[in-house]
A and B are shown apart, each in its own frame.
Chain A
């Protein structure tokens, strides 16, 4: 008789997806943070735009 162990397969597929997705998100966050930092360093210092008081 075929055993009823579908829960284990579902759990394995869910955990694998969690590991892969977690890694993808961590890579994308690292990439975005580095790009932002590089863009900050690369851009020339811009003067703060003057806005009249009360505007």
Chain B
């Protein structure tokens, strides 16, 4: 009997230069932010949380979950399994970044507001989105049939992404403790240039990390599907 053909992606080495570059970039950003960026006079060193908190939030919401929604819409239209894998990967990496947002935010809030958490629109809707993305992954784990799993999760992914514009606008629509954007806004950034350099370096380093993690997660999804095919073939 001839052995089943295994795709080259399986045989390829698990080395990932992009991930290594991204990790080095993030380490350099840590050094720059913590050691070489000036301390903001009013808020103190806690203001430095901005560099990791805001970049993680921006990438999770506007890159991760938007990509998840676009891939989900395209999957429902084209029924291409690759698109389902992209949506699944973007959702999971986006969830990791949102976790960072929800972990670092309260530490900043405690120093500025005097409270770890407040149930205002921005914070609550972000937490709500985090729970929906967790539910998205639980749903994927609960449905065995691949086509049905992709269809159901695509619908949930699209609905979850509808929260993104709401989260973005929440600081304008409601009275909230969360500050309005100081950098990524139509007018000029309200921040000294040294801090801007640190912020944009952090943004690009974490964006690179997001892309590297997305590629790795996509590879995991592809391997999992190949394994399922092979096991079905053997059964």
Residues of A at the B interface (CB closer than 8 Å) are 2-6, 8-13, 15-17, 19-20, 23-24, 27-28, 30-32, 34-35, 37-39, 41-44
Contacts and interface: CB of A to CB of B under 8 A. Distances in A.
B46 A8 contact: yes
B43 interface: yes
B12 to A, nearest CB: 9
Interface in B19-49: 19, 23, 26, 30, 33-34, 39, 41-49
Contacts, number: 115
A38 B34 contact: no
B144 interface: no
Nearest to B219: A31
B216 A27 contact: yes
30 contacts: A3-B44, A3-B111, A5-B43, A5-B45, A5-B46, A5-B111, A6-B44, A8-B46, A8-B111, A9-B45, A13-B33, A13-B49, A15-B103, A16-B103, A16-B104, A19-B99, A20-B26, A20-B96, A24-B23, A27-B216, A27-B220, A34-B224, A35-B14, A35-B223, A39-B6, A41-B227, A41-B231, A42-B4, A42-B6, A43-B3
A39 B111 CA distance: 52
B203 interface: no
Interface of B: 1, 3-4, 6, 10, 14, 19, 23, 26, 30, 33-34, 39, 41-49, 52-53, 56, 93, 96, 99-100, 103-104, 107-108, 110-111, 209, 213, 216-217, 219-220, 223-224, 226-227, 230-231, 234
